[in-house]
Each structure stands twice: as structure tokens, then as C-alpha cells.
Amino acid sequence: MSMAQREQSERGWALEPHDADVRVCGWGPTPEAAFEQAAVALTRVVTDAPLAARERVDVHCQAPDRELLLVDWLNAVIYEMAVGGLLFGDYSVRLRGDRLEASLWGEPVDRARHAPACEPKGATYTALSVGRDRQGRWTAGCVVDV
């Protein structure tokens, strides 16, 4: 996606190289949409393959501010990927104050079909941001250790 297309789209995600790691970024009309899109970007670090919504996992996080909540959220997704052997393609995030409730839909990893490129180790505080951009969209992003 070009920078012009990115600036015009209401909702989306991007991967930005950062040293040996990668920064995931999501944006949308609400903070919830930006968090969902950041998780989509996280999945794209692993695979470009289409993912079926065969299994649902619910996660809950709590943190004193939205930036820390984003790190907790992405680490919860990474945990569910690693422990459950799942890849997620759809996310639904609900924010209530300092709490996040989310549902993740995906399927078990199929190494032949998904061809996972790497395994994310954790979301970090590096290049961490949550806020509004010049277009008024919410953005959420941070570097993920891969």
C-alpha cells in the first residue's frame, strides 16, 4: 500500500521494518479498530495465507493507559498463537476504560499451507504509540520482537 493509499484508507494496517524486528501499526475510526488492525498486522508478520475462522478465543487485558494496553493486547495474541498453535485472522476488540475484552477467530497452524515466516516473541515498548493522526483516525503501533 502506498503512502497516499494509506493516508486515504479509513481502516488498515502496516508493517514497518525496525532493525532486526518489525513495527506493527493499525489504524481505524475508533481505538478499537486501530487495536484490531494492529493485531491483523501482527498476524501478517507470520503469514500472508488466508485464515479460516474455525476457533474462537477470548482474551482480557487491563493496563493503566492505552499504550500499555496495546502492548498487553498484542502479547495476549502472541501468547494464544504460541500456546494454542493458532493463527488468527479476525479480531473484535472492546475497550472500557483501562480494560480490553476481545475475541479472536482463527485456525490451527498448518505449516504447509500457512508457511509461517517467523514466530513473534513479544510486543515491546519501542516506538509505542496510540493516538489520532492528521486525518483524525486512531492509530496504534509498536515494535514486535521477532
Three cell numbers written together for 26? 493499525
Segment 109-131 shows an average pLDDT of 94
The whole-chain average pLDDT of the chain stands at: 93
- Residue 73: is its pLDDT beyond 60? yes
DSSP of the chain: --HHHHHH-SSEEEEEEETTEEEEEEEESSHHHHHHHHHHHHHHHH--S-----EEEEEEEE-SSHHHHHHHHHHHHHHHHHHHTEEEEEEEEEEETTEEEEEEEEEE--HHHH-------EE-STT-EEEE-TTS-EEEEEEEE-
**pLDDT value of residue 4:** 55
Q: What proportion of the chain, given as a percentage, has pLDDT over 90? A: 86
Tens digits of residue pLDDT in 11-36 = 999 999 888 899 999 999 999 999 99
**pLDDT value of residue 7:** 64
- Residue 5: is its pLDDT beyond 80? no
**pLDDT value of residue 19:** 84
- Residue 131: is its pLDDT beyond 90? yes
What are phi and psi for residue 144, nearest 5 degrees? Answer: -110, 130
